[in-house]
Amino acid sequence: MEKELRSPVAQRPMNVEDPVSKTGIGAQISVELNGVKLKVDMGKSILDVCRDNNVYIPTLCYHEDLCIAGNCRMCMVEVEGMRTLQAACAFPITSPIKIKTFSDKVRKARKHTADLLLSEHYGECYSCVRNNNCELQTIARECGVDSYEFGHVCEPRFEIDSSSHAVIRDMDKCILCRRCVRTCIDLQEVGVLEAINRGYDTKISTFMDKPLADVICINCGQCINRCPTGALHANDPSDEIWKAIEDPTKHVVMQTAPSPRAAIGEEFGLPAGTSMTGQLNTAIKRMGFDMVFDTNFTADLTIMEEGTELLNRLKKALVDKDENVKLPQFTSCSPGWVKFIEHFYPEKLDYLSTAKSPQQMFGAVIKTFYAKEAGIDPKDIVTVALMPCAAKKFECNRPEMNSSGYKDVDYGLTTREMAKMIREAGLKLPDLPKTNFDEPFGDASGAGLIFGATGGVMEAALRTVYELVTGRPVPFEGLNIDVCRGMKGIKEAKVKLENCKDEFSYLEGVELKFIVAHGTANANHVMKMLIKGELEGYHFVEIMACPGGCIGGGGQPIPTSELIRKLRAKAIYAEESTMPVRKSHENPRIKFIYNNFLTDGPGGKLSHELLHTEYVKRGKYIE
Amino acid sequence: MNNSDKIKRSGPVLFSEYEKGSSVKKALEMEREEILFEIKDSGLKGRGGAGFPVSTKWMLTAAANAEQKFIVCNADEGEPGTFKDRVLLMEYPWLVFEGMIIAGYTVGAKNGIVYLRAEYSYLLEFLEDYIDDLRKENLLGKNICGRDFEFDINIILGAGAYVCGEETALIESLEGHRGEPRNRPPFPVNTGYLGFPTSVNNVETLSSVPHIIMKGSDWYNKFGTEKSSGSKLISVSGDCNYPGVYEVSWGTTLNEIIELTGAENTKAMQIGGASGVCLPASEFHRTLAYEDIATGGSIMIFNKDRSMLEVLKNFMEFFVEESCGQCTPCRIGNVKLLEGVEMIEKKDYTPEYIDKLKDLGKTMQIASKCGLGQTSPNPFISILENFKDEIFSKN
């Protein structure tokens, strides 16, 4: 199930024939790095060799998640015998060479390059969202820039595109490293952004230079996470949220998703993978939010609804032999993925679960169930969702998301924006005491918590579905379904249903086959398999739009890398393993809401009104 | 057809007697290695300007292990002041195509692609008809000349970007992408068109091959200098009485060219187009040769009435326009150099800043991603140096 190499030919690794098998000489090459003799692996880039040996090379267009571009020219080094300097990121070592990384020529060329970039970079650092976390700023310092050698633009050249609910493009700050282009085309296989024009007029543009809101952007925000400057940032609603907090007539409710908790510490100087759940609750309450709820509650609710929907589909397919039933069922909790399938595979929307995402379920529940319980008029409730995600901003603004009679979720707030608000409030997050989530939703199950990492929804769903069907817990050590975990692009596994309960006898002996994919490039691959008929016999597919799942979301702290994503995921799994309730259906508040509010049960009429949705066949045609 | 389109002088090499189709027939009788050695012994180097040994390029392509290989004829003749490839394509297409067929046979390619610059689209029909004729004559297609060798050629039009003359940008353009240079390594001989080994050769280079096959490397070595064998087509334009295409032996001096073309009161010669060097009269004794002044063939002559600052400005405007915009030094550096020229023009500059720009130019020469940015500061550096009295005394 490996997908084909998707990077453009130009950026693929050189075809280095395996020297071990061909000649028996061995795959190591002697290299001299700043006078130090080393043995390095054949085909490794100069940059990798330098990093392995603690030699620092500045980079801008390079990003370890992306294919090589070699266009910023910051990482130039001198290779003895070559007339020109070489981009360390793009130079594979295939013969013994001598490398100098800070010779006169190199330092001067890097300084010139930094000077040139700065001459075109409009704006001042202190009025930039990326102040103190900007790679261009860092480069300027490291190259010893102390004046604008070749001038500095004083007038903006471009209009800021703030049409999108999710991503704002400020092209005056763009340095044309094209990480966003490579993220969009290559990492995510969406292809909204590309360079247009030539030379000095080159700029990153959308189809026909249309506003981002009018093209097929899925709002995943991965481009934001990889932009080295402030050219791309999320649409920040924090001013309105502060206003709502200040307004005494408003009851402001925060729901927090699992991933921000595992990452927000990075914004306060803590290492990746430091869980901040309790401290974050305290911060939110001290900032003046009236309530803080755990989105994991509706993650559990999602499992109940989506799991029930899956069982219904299985029953229709296996018992009623209904040929219109679409299997496998695809998850629908990632709004980036939902918009992706709406644009790219609109004819396949029937495969998508109709269950809303946990964020939207919670919005609807807060403005109905909670409003009633608390005795507050839902018109006075403002719901804010702290999400790792840029697409959630678009999702909460979808016109159909008002099943409570009001806008179910008023604002989607990213982890980065939350950190900014906490800083504005003068709170030192790491030093705050821990507090729990507020009732009536309280603490959710661990199954909801692991939604944050790729494979988590699948794992949570299996724990519940398997137990509902067989009456026994899933046959995995400590409920940890390891096949769902990890950063492999497309994971697949199966579990056999045996000794089923009577009402599920039609599932007896069925091997439940499932797939987990993260990043829309992998999703795209899975969809191609679906079209080719290769998913025959599969039952359930989890897709997350972002690499690594929500922990790698477009609203998460910058920078990102696979290591950072792994550490965040690790924090989530560690926290989960100690939780008292680890199955969605065993969450007592879930039982409560089905007993007292959604009384016709999962998939019932009220559930359908509040917790399920419809999709839009968007297609790729742009007016 | 204007005056300069005519061949002013047919030299004894490229325009020597040649029977159409004969070299393909002869080459197919030879072993591939034999051809490689013949080309190697001839010392033939790339005629596009860079002067890379043809035999090395072919040998690397031949040695690469791949399912498919490609021969690409670079007919994106875009260097300002050069028009010699057009003449070859119009008047000697058989030399170009037969060169491609022999290259294909030698490296093991079945497909040849001519990348024809957009401005030459009026040649497309003529060339395609000619390729059709070659198919009919069994010089293209399957079992060429009854041998177990298959080769075909198609023509793809460029879209008017100067940078697509750079071989990796050309390949990107062939693949339907933005015409932007790739990182090298990997080189096209290893990872070229669609990722397959590809030999990209200039029109004139390929046209030399049939002669070498027919007449041998010894014959070819009789012409030119020790390190630059054979002849060179030059396109001469500017202040001279007889502009046009000339075949000259390598080793010809600039003074001889002035004489040939009837130029008078010559102040400067720009050798190698916009990206070349601009030489004052004191350097006219120098020769065209890979070891002295290497050139792709563009020669522009400027007489004493020309303002060299204006000449420089024209070149820098060209580079600002034609930079692909991918790498920083070229995209922004050329703009800064042009701004410097404009400052001099307005007499609003400091010598220190101009020196700083020359320094920047030197960085661009070694830091840019491809040959465009690496050579675009050449006129800035050479004109400001060689004509400093004129430029700075007036200003």
pLDDT band at A12 (very low <50, low <70, confident <90, very high): low
Position B9 scores a pLDDT of 82
Q: What is the dihedral of CA B121, B122, B126, B132, to 10 degrees?
A: 30
Q: Chain B residues with CB inside 8 Å of A106's CB?
A: none
**Token code pair at residue A157:** 């050249």
Tens of pLDDT, residues A215-241: 999 999 999 999 999 999 999 999 999
Spatial CA neighbour of A91 closest among A33, A49, A52 = A49
Q: In what order do the strands lie in the sheet with A540-544?
A: A329-330, A540-544, A511-518, A490-496
Please state, in angstroms and as integers, the Cα–Cα distance from residue B81 to each residue in A19, A215, B117, B236, following that order.
Answer: 47, 43, 15, 7
Min mean pLDDT across A11-25, A236-250, A449-463 is at A11-25
Q: Sort out which chain A residues have CB atoms less than 8 A from B64's CB and list them.
A: 15
Percent of chain A with pLDDT over 70: 96
pLDDT in tens, B198-235: 999 999 999 999 999 999 999 999 999 999 999 999 99
CATH number of this structure's domain A115-234: 3.30.70.20
CA distances from B182 to A92, A156, A601 (A): 14, 31, 59
Alpha helices in B175-264 (DSSP H): 203-221, 254-261
Q: What is the C-alpha separation between A296 and A575, in angstroms, rounded?
A: 13
pLDDT at B4 over 50: no
- Interface size A-B, in CB pairs within 8 Å, comes to 128
State which residue of chain B sits closest to A121, comparing Cα positions.
B332
Coil, strand, or helix at residue A45? strand
Residue A15 reports pLDDT greater than 80: no
Q: Tell which CATH classification among 2.60.40.1120, 3.30.479.10, 3.40.950.10, 3.40.50.720 matches the domain A300-357+444-611.
A: 3.40.950.10
The pLDDT of residue B5 = 57
Residue A123's pLDDT is what? Answer: 84
Give the mean pLDDT of chain A: 93
The DSSP letter of residue A27 is: S
Mean pLDDT computed over every residue of chain B: 94
Residue A25 scores a pLDDT above 70: no
What value of ipTM does the predicted structure carry?
0.94
User: What are A70's two structure tokens?
Assistant: 């070699």
Cα distances (Å, whole numbers) of residue B31 to B27, B67, B107? 8, 21, 11
Q: What is the DSSP letter of B151?
A: B
Buried b / exposed e across A111-129, counting CB within 10 Å, b at 16+? bbbbbbbbbbbbeeeeebb
What's the confidence (pLDDT) of residue A8? 53
Q: Kindly report the nearest CA distance between residue B268 and chain A, in angstroms.
A: 28
Closest to A84 (Cα-Cα) out of A62, A109, A59: A109
Question: Taking chain A, what is the end-to-end CA distance rounded to the nearest angstrom?
Answer: 36
Per the DSSP assignment, residues forming a β-bridge with B280 are B268
Is A87–B374 a contact, with Cβ atoms under 8 angstroms apart? no
The whole-angstrom separation of Cα B124 and Cα B229 is 32
B182 neighbourhood in chain A, CB within 8 Å: 10-11
Task: Please check whether residue B156 touches A, CB under 8 A.
Answer: no
Min Cα distance B26 → chain A (Å) is: 34
Confidence label for A26 from pLDDT (cuts 50, 70 and 90) = low
Q: Out of A10, A113, A119, whose CB is closest to B367? A: A113
φ/ψ region of A595 (left if φ > 0, alpha if ψ in -120 to 50, else beta) reads alpha
Answer yes or no: do B363 and A201 touch at CB < 8 A: no
Compare A30 and A3 and report the one with higher pLDDT: A30
pLDDT in tens, A82-110: 999 999 999 989 889 999 999 999 999 99
What are B353-376's pLDDT values in tens digits? 999 999 999 999 999 999 999 999
Per DSSP, the three-state class of A493 is strand
Inter-chain residue contact B172 with A10, CB threshold 8 Å:
yes
Check residue B152 and give its pLDDT.
Answer: 97
Q: Compute the distance between CA of residue B261 and CA of residue B235 in angstroms, rounded to an integer.
A: 11
Q: Where are the alpha helices (DSSP H) in B14-92?
A: 22-29, 32-42, 54-63, 84-91
The neighbour count for residue B201, using CB atoms within 10 Å, is 27
How far, in Å, CA of A63 to CA of A182, rounded?
10
In sequence order, the 6+-apart residues with CB closer than 8 A to the CB of A119 are A148, A149, A150, A151, A152, A153, B332, B336
Q: Which domains does chain B have, with CATH numbers?
A: 3-221 (3.40.50.11540), 231-303 (3.10.20.600), 308-394 (1.20.1440.230)
Of A222, A245, A224, give the one whose Cα is nearest residue A234.
Answer: A224
* pLDDT category of residue B394 using cuts at 50, 70 and 90: low
* Tokens coding B4: 């300069």
> Which residues on neighbouring strands pair with residue A612, listed in sequence order?
A355
Residue B241 in contact with residue B303, Cβ under 8 Å?
no
* AA identity, residue B246: Y
Q: How far apart are CA B277 and CA A580, in angstroms?
A: 78
pLDDT of residue B44: 97
| Residue in chain B lying closest to A7 (CA) | B195
The Cα of A558 is separated from the nearest Cα of chain B by a number of Å equal to: 24
Q: Are A262 and A551 in contact (CB under 8 A)?
A: yes
| Statement: the pTM of the whole predicted model exceeds 0.90 | yes
Q: Which of B102, B165, B89, B108 is CA-nearest to residue B139?
A: B102
The domain limits of chain A are 9-102, 115-234, 238-297+359-368+376-431, 300-357+444-611
B328 closest CB neighbour out of A8, A94, A113: A113
Of residues A105, A176, A201, nearest to B366 (C-beta):
A105
Q: What is the pLDDT of residues A269-315, one digit of tens each?
A: 999 999 999 999 999 999 999 999 999 999 999 999 999 999 999 99
Classified by CATH at the fold level, domain A238-297+359-368+376-431 comes out as: Rossmann fold (3.40.50)
CB contact under 8 A, B366 and A198: no
Nearest Cβ partner for A120 among B195, B332, B334: B332
CA distance A83 to chain B (A): 7
Tokens of B238: 């500017």
Amino acid letter, residue A584: S
Half-sphere exposure of residue A236: CA atoms within 13 angstroms, side-chain side: 15
pLDDT in tens, B22-54: 999 999 999 999 999 999 999 999 998 889 999
pLDDT for the residue numbered A27: 77
Q: Are strands A511-518 and A490-496 parallel, antiparallel or unpaired?
A: antiparallel
SS3 state at B122: helix
- Chain-chain contact of B186 with A109 (C-beta, under 8 angstroms): no
**Chain CA centroid to CA B91, Å:** 18
Kind plus residue range of the DSSP H or E element containing A447: helix A446-449
Of B65, B194, B328, the CB nearest to A72: B328
DSSP readout, A523-554?
HHHHHHHHHTTTTTT--EEEEESSTTSGGG-T
The model's pLDDT over B139-185, given as tens digits with 9 standing for 90+, comes to 999 999 999 999 999 999 999 999 999 999 999 999 999 999 999 88
Coil, strand or helix: which one is A261?
A: helix
Q: What pLDDT score was predicted for residue A20? A: 46
Written as six digits, the tokens of B21 are: 């189709």
Local structure of B82: helix, strand or coil: coil
The CATH code that applies to domain A9-102 is 3.10.20.740
pLDDT surpasses 80 at A371: yes
Please calculate the CA angle A297-A302-A307 and round it to the nearest 5 degrees.
Answer: 135
What is the rounded (10 degree) CA torsion for A465, A470, A473, A474?
A: -60
Residues of A with Cβ-Cβ distance to B194 under 8 angstroms? 9
